[in-house]
Structure 1
Amino acid sequence: MGRVYKAEFRHEAVRLALGSGLSRERIAQDLGIGSSTLKTWSREARKADTVKPDATDHAALLRENERLRRENLLLQEERELPKKATQFFASQRS
C-alpha cells in the first residue's frame, strides 16, 4: 500500500495545482508526490467541489491565462505541421 497523506497536505496540494499557474508535474515534484497522485486528488476535489482556485489572486489567473495561450499556440502549430508535410510531399511527386 502507498503512503498515506494528511487531509491538509492533500487539500493544499490540490489548491496549488488548481490555482498556482504551475504545471501539475512541477507541483508534484516539488511536493515529493507522483503527478498521477496529484491528478487523482484534483479530480476527487473537483467532483466533491471542495477546493477551488483562489479567484482573488489576479496575478495567478493572468499567469495561467498566458500559459494557456502559449500552449494553445503550440498545439495549433503541431496541428498544422502534418498538413504542411502532406502539402510538401504532394508537391514533390508532381
Structure 2
Amino acid sequence: MGRTYDNEFKQYVARLVVDEGKPATEVAREMDVPYKTMNRWTREYRKEKEAKAEELNYVTPSEYRKREKELLDRIQELEEENEIVKKAAHIFMNQKK
C-alpha cells in the first residue's frame, strides 16, 4: 500500500501549483510525491476552487430584481441631478452676458 497524506498537505501542494504557479514536476520532486498523485490533487483543488467561485457569484432571482431596482433608482437620481446641473449652468451662462 502507498503512502497516505493528510488533507492539509494535499491542499498545500495543490496551492503551490495552482495559486503560486510553480511547475508541477518541480513541486512533485521537491515534495517527494508521485507526479500522478499530485496531479490528481491539483485537479481536485481546481474543481473545489471553481465550485466556491460559482457559489459566490450565484445571485437568486429576487436578489437580482432588488439590485436591478436599486440601479434603476440610482440612474433616475443621477439623471435628475444632471438636469439640475444643466439648468444651473444655463442660468449662470445667461447672467454673465
Structure with bigger helix share is 2
**Which structure has the bigger radius of gyration?**
2
